[in-house]
Amino acid sequence: MSQRTLITLGTIITGTCLFGWLFINTGGVLNSTKPFTAQHTTKNNPVTLQQLLGTQKNSPFKQATQPIAFLFPRDHGPHFAYRTEWWYLTGHLFDRNQQHYGFQFTLFRFASQPSSTAANPWLVPQFYMAHLALSNTQQQTHRSAAKFSRQGPGLAGVTSPPLQAWLENWQLQSTTAESLFPAKLTAQAPAQHIGLALTIDKLKSWVLQGNQGLSQKSTTQGNASYYYSYPRLNVVGSIQWDQQQIPVTGQAWFDHEWATSALDHYQTGWDWFSLQLENQQELMIYRIRSQPGYPETLFAGLIQADQTVIQLTPNQVTIKATQYQQTIDHKQWPVAWQITLPDYHLSLTLTPTQPNQFIKHLFTYWEGAVKITGSHQGWGFVELTGY
């Protein structure tokens, strides 16, 4: 993350096309009130990561090309001048017996035109997708759900301030107009027997990622996002698991990014790490992988206890995968890592709470909770796309 998350959408979609891609390529003219389904696509018409996040010719959208002055609470809300945007929460929850649960909630916005209005509300050129996931470490079980909707007449959307980000009855809502947090997150997925009812407040304030919030994804100007994080949040509330309502407490991480293009033609996917250490440091790393013969992009920021962000160079960070999970299509996904920052005396071992933490809906990616050991203890989340 998010870029987290994006994902927007951090994956190569090889078997089916998501509704957002249909929406973007029909110029926003989805005037049927019937929902779209996967039958609209075939394996012979795949959508690539570059199509979703690459540069578009004659695009009407703005691009992230230089640092901007962030203005809060305004910038917690939507940025319709940009094509894609996401609000992303991941965290670690513990019940009264200290049993661990990992959670993810992400709301994505896609647009076909830089506008949030239309004479007919069904033709507003904004489309939303949300993902909800909950893992039970004790049971070694991971469950996820997805929702899709046009903005339409109140079906989905984001407004601010105060922030209200929703897709049907899934909602992230600030409790005051002055700040993003405290906020309430509510989401239920009855078919998967999971749900969240959480109150979230900041333990640290926001930090800007990259160059004053400009997160460069390749050497091409405009292949970037605007990106900030709340790297440490306090969480209280309850989760639903099967028929149980379980009181929980824990900590979370929040990302918000918006962009028009991010990736070059040679880039294939990314590995993203958000790590919270017990000494009140946080580490965010993203590595964008490339086709053979092209350079990789790596960015890392070490957030100090006082919220100072130390920008790291690629040669200051070593990432080595130590365990893999094979999917039914025989692809190998890394699920455990050794990360070292010798200049800062960090040697971190990342072990998944369970190796099978795939999000599989219209596309597949790995979004997993990890336990941190080694020179420092802690918890983290990892997002993998494009394998």
Q: What is the pLDDT of residues 348-370, one digit of tens each?
A: 999 999 999 999 987 789 999 99
Residue 141: inside a domain, yes or no?
yes
Residue 11: inside a domain, yes or no?
no
pLDDT at 46: 45
Residue 1: inside a domain, yes or no?
no
The C-alpha angle 227, 205, 3, rounded to 5 degrees, equals: 25
| Domain extent for 346 | 19-384
Distance CA 189, CA 297 (A): 36
Domain count of the fold of the chain: 1
pLDDT at 8: 34
Say what the alpha-carbon torsion angle 87, 63, 31, 49 is, to the nearest 10 degrees: -70
pLDDT at 14: 25
Residue 293: inside a domain, yes or no?
yes
Residue 4: inside a domain, yes or no?
no
Residue 282, domain CATH = 2.40.370.10
Say what the alpha-carbon torsion angle 288, 9, 62, 263 is, to the nearest 10 degrees: 30
pLDDT at 76: 98
What is the average pLDDT score of the chain? 88
Q: Where do we find the tokens 């096309």?
A: 17
Which secondary structure element, helix H or strand E, spans residue 52, and what is its range? helix 49-53
If 0-12 CB within 10 Å is exposed, 13-18 middle and 19+ buried, where does residue 309 land?
middle
Q: What is the CB-side half-sphere exposure of residue 326 using CA atoms within 13 A?
A: 3
What is the residue type of 363? F
Where the chain has pLDDT below 70, the residues are: 1-57
What is the number of other CB atoms lying within 10 angstroms of the CB of residue 18? Answer: 25
Rg (CA), the chain: 19
Distance CA 81, CA 62 (A): 6
**Residue pair 370/319 in contact by the 8 Å Cβ criterion:** no
pLDDT at 263: 79
Per-residue DSSP letter, 25:
H
Residue 7: inside a domain, yes or no?
no
Residue 6: inside a domain, yes or no?
no
Q: Quick one: which of 229, 224, 143 has its CA closest to 191?
A: 143
Residue 5: inside a domain, yes or no?
no
